[in-house]
Structure formats: C-alpha cells, structure tokens
Amino acid sequence: MIQRIRDACHTCEDQQEQGLFAWHGFEINTPPTWELGSYHGGYSSGDATLDDGVSPRLHLTWRTASRRRSPIERMLAKIKKAHRKRWGRNASFEVISAVPTCPEGQSQRYVRSSTPEASGLAWWCRACGRSGVVEEYHSRDNPSSSASPILDSFRDHRDDGTRLWSAYGLSFELPTTYLECRPSLSAGRLRFQLLASARNWCVVERWAMASVHLRRLPLNKWPAELAARVSPKLGPLTLDERATVLQYPAIHFKTSRARVGAAIPWLHTPTEGLLWQRPESDKLLAVITHGPACDLLHSIAAGVRTI
C-alpha cells in the first residue's frame, strides 16, 4: 500500500497542473480555472459544484445504489421528465452512446438544451454500490457536444486500494479505508480530516501566506498549537527538527507516551505529524496521523502536492 501511494505521486502532480478534481473517490480532469464552489454529503450520497469564478460549470450528484440491477434507464427517464417539465415538452433531450467508466458498471451519455445547455453522464458502479450524474454546463461560445473530454475523463473509483483527494490546488492520497471525510475549506486554509475509525484518522492541512503566519509564530512552535487543535488532552510532544519531506526541511512531532494519563485508554494511541514550508509558493503544509495511520505518515506527506 505504501509503495503504491509513493508511485502515484508524480502522476498526481502532472494531473494537478492540468486541472484535476477528486472527491470521495471521483476523479475528473477539468480546466485549471474551475474550482469547487459548493459541496455537501459524504461518500454514500452528496453533491458538488465547480465554477469558473463567474458561473457553475460542472455539477456532480451521487447516492447509494443497488449492486444487482442498473438504475441507468430509470435515472435517464427521471432527468428527461424533470427537464421537459421545466423547459417544455419540446425541449431537446438526446441520449447518445454509452461511455464505460469502470468494468463493474454502466454509464450513458446525454445532451440537453436549456439555459445553459449541458451534456451529462449518468453512471452506476456495482463495485462501489453508487450511482450518479455528472453534468457539464456550456456557454454560448462553447455549445454542448456529444464529445466532451471532461466527461470522458470521469471515473468513480480506483482499483489499487487508494483514493485521491484534489481541490484548490492541493492533492494527496490515502487508502480507501479512510472513508469518512470532514473538510474545512476557507480562504487561506484548507483542512481535510479523514477517518477510518475514531482511533484511526489523518489530517492534511495547508496554509497560504506562510511568511505572514511565521512572523506571528515560529515554525518550531506550530506543532504544539496544531496538536492542541486536534485534542487538548494529547499532552507534550517530542520534536525532531532534522526531518525532511521530499527536499524540504520538516519538523517531525509525536506524543510522549511517558506523560500520557493511564486513566484514559485512547490516549495511549500514538499521534504523529510532519510540518514543513514550501517557500517558493509561500505555503505551510502539515500531515497529522493518529493510530494505525501513523505507519503511513511519511508516505502520505511525500504524496502531498500543492500549487
């Protein structure tokens, strides 16, 4: 597992430069100017919208589906009915050739006319037990077409046991066991907490304008503050300022077991982290792991990419 994550690092960096959105197992190549505008839900069901800073350009919805029978025909009928109810019975809705998104599923492309025009992909995957719709909205200068490289690039899951996350120029990979995600995305700070269980989780954070933050608090003081945000009961940390992440100097920190209170069993679970700065992009990056995720700390940090 660790080696697979390392081998995928260069691929993630190339895709990120082209524009890549990856969320709850979904991956789709987009123009680099499109960014996540809104999202809600989790792995089982939810939706996400990408915009170009002016208007929505891509919308994804997904939900849990039966693994036995494809819901594609029912989904297309529902989409067509809603489309004509809103825009009239003469509104154009054309189903075109199927495009495979994975060997274990089924998908069908369509084009509809409205304001704006859109091309879509209805998909279902037996392996991950989900179905959904991806719609690309077109401008007047770029009318809808049956050939959409963006929709062609969509895939709903990987087959190597890893899951990629990529948004706002930050990309990283984790094993698929880390199913639950609690993102906190704000201007200047991105935070993803991914959980396999209450005692097995990972946090990936990125801060913009690192030079401003470091004037307020030196880098070697950050681990204590980060650990306190995760849990004020973790106790003191041991620091190693000789660590590196790729070619960047980093601080490795972990809980000191000798000072952990014996009355609280879960505090015996180790917590470790890596903190480093990327001066060329003025970013601060941190990866914090708890429990079994600590075994993946260095490979996760080595796979973090940012612009």
Write the pLDDT tens digit of every residue in 210-222: 999 999 999 999 9
The one-letter code for the residue type at 232 is P
User: Looking at residue 198, what is its pLDDT?
Assistant: 87
User: Looking at residue 258, what is its pLDDT?
Assistant: 42
Q: Which residue has the tokens 């991105």?
A: 190
Judge whether residue 64 has pLDDT over 90.
yes
| From 9-18, 85-94, 293-302, the region with the lowest mean pLDDT | 9-18
> pLDDT, tens digit, for every residue of 40-60?
999 999 999 999 999 999 999
Judge whether residue 197 has pLDDT over 50.
yes
In 24-158, the DSSP E strands lie at 26-29, 35-41, 46-51, 56-64, 93-95, 105-112, 117-125, 130-138
Per-residue confidence at 149, pLDDT binned at 50, 70, 90?
confident
Judge whether residue 16 has pLDDT over 50.
no
If one compares 179 and 1, the residue with the highest pLDDT of the two is 179
Torsion sign, CA atoms 39, 42, 43, 45 = negative
Q: In what helix (H) or strand (E) does residue 171 lie, and over which residues does it extend?
A: strand 170-175
Kindly list the structural domains of the chain, giving each domain's residue range(s) and its CATH number in brackets, ordered by start. Answer: 33-152 (3.40.1000), 177-306 (3.40.1000)
Q: How far is CA 97 from the centre of its chain?
A: 29
Judge whether residue 144 has pLDDT over 80.
no
Per-residue confidence at 225, pLDDT binned at 50, 70, 90?
confident
Residues of the chain above pLDDT 90, percent? 54
User: Looking at residue 19, what is its pLDDT?
Assistant: 85
Q: Which residue has the tokens 């940390």?
A: 237
User: Looking at residue 18, what is its pLDDT?
Assistant: 63
User: Looking at residue 20, what is its pLDDT?
Assistant: 93
Judge whether residue 122 has pLDDT over 60.
yes
Judge whether residue 277 has pLDDT over 50.
yes
List Cα–Cα distances, 291 to 158, 214, 263, 271, in angstroms.
Answer: 25, 29, 18, 6
The mean pLDDT of 1-10, rounded to a whole number, is 42
Judge whether residue 265 has pLDDT over 90.
no
If one compares 115 and 132, the residue with the highest pLDDT of the two is 132
| From 101-105, 190-194, 201-205, the region with the lowest mean pLDDT | 101-105
Determine how many CB atoms are found less than 10 A away from the CB of residue 202. Answer: 25
Instruction: Quote the pTM value.
Output: 0.86
Strands 283-290 and 305-306: unpaired
Cα angle 65, 68, 74; round to 5? 55
Mean pLDDT score of the chain, rounded to an integer? 85
Per-residue confidence at 7, pLDDT binned at 50, 70, 90?
very low
